[in-house]
Amino acid sequence: MDKSFQDISSGKMELFSSFFSALKSFISEMVLEGSKELRNIGMGDYTVLITSISEIKADLVIIGDKDDQKEINKIIPKVVKLFLKNKEVFLEWDGKRADFKVFDESLTEIIQSNKKLIGKASLIEKPETVLKSIWAHKLDLSDEEKQKLSKELETLKIELDQTENVARKLEILDRLLNLSENLKAEQEFINFQNKKKQLKDQLRDVKLKLRYYLERVKESVSEAVNSLGNKPINEGSYKEVYLNLYSFSNKLKLISLDDTWEKYREMANMLINKDDFSRDELSDAIQFVFKMKTDVNEYINI
């Protein structure tokens, strides 16, 4: 779990989380080396204290001002004791971050009991410096490895610019973040992290619009069928169904990692070009729309 005791705007939380991601990667390497005692890592104006807690198969990582190291050492036993009192949260964890909210109040009390540890300074004030400090502890790649990863990075940057699908863009950015971390390219890493945040915002917007068009599809198809009366199915007006279903397929195309959006586009085209199809074909298309699930998450595969 990640826990910050500084006020960070939602717009900067993504970048803050990236520091934890970079730290986790480095810390994992340290753990694999078998060092289990308290470890200190200098990061310029900051220090990272890592304590292994074997009973819960986890590491406690605290980042703070380097001048506060003594104060941080005082609270470490309290935090460890808190975690050990709730071993089951860690040992039975099924991947849900919300499970760790049980610690929020107690952790806040522990930190606030030492006023010296609460300040206004933030890791994200000097992002390049912090990342450089973190990665200074990583082994350098060989020239051959750097060249190979740099080539892949440039290729993916071009692909990113040429890709419209938001889901695919996020996949590319995850790889670019990994490459820039391995290459210790601080500014590239920050730029990619900012782009990822923008894309996540776009993804949320697309999902909202997808939900709206799905609701309108269901409403408009019911209205179209109800207004038929005794008229045959091919004499109905399906313009509204078409417009909403077409828009739905457009939004789905932006975030789907496969071609499922195409079948909704096909059904939309059938409804607007109804005279080109038999009554049975038109009936099948309308039944298809009627049977569309109402939960928008059923259509999203990312």
Q: How far apart are CA 59 and CA 71, in angstroms?
A: 19
Roughly what angle, to the nearest 10 degrees, separates helices 239-255 and 166-182? 10
The pLDDT score that the predictor gives to residue 26 is 66
What is the per-residue pLDDT across 223-271, written as a single tens digit (0 to 9) for each?
999 998 888 898 899 999 999 999 999 999 999 888 999 999 999 999 9
Q: How far apart are CA 82 and CA 48, in angstroms?
A: 20
What is the per-residue pLDDT across 137-158, written as a single tens digit (0 to 9) for each?
778 899 999 999 999 999 999 9
What is the per-residue pLDDT across 163-216, written as a single tens digit (0 to 9) for each?
999 999 999 999 999 999 999 998 999 899 889 989 999 999 999 999 999 999
> Which residues, 6+ apart, have CB-to-CB distance to 295 below 8 Å?
none
- Residue with tokens 């928008």, as numbered in its chain: 296
| Closest alpha carbon to 234 in 179, 284, 181 | 284
Written as six digits, the tokens of 293 are: 């699930």
The pLDDT score that the predictor gives to residue 1 is 57
pLDDT above 90 covers a percentage of the chain that reads: 48
Residue 43, pLDDT above cutoff 50 = yes
Q: Phi and psi at residue 224, in whole multiples of 5°?
A: -65, -45
What is the per-residue pLDDT across 84-126, written as a single tens digit (0 to 9) for each?
999 998 998 888 888 888 898 998 888 888 777 766 555 556 6
Name the average pLDDT for the chain: 85
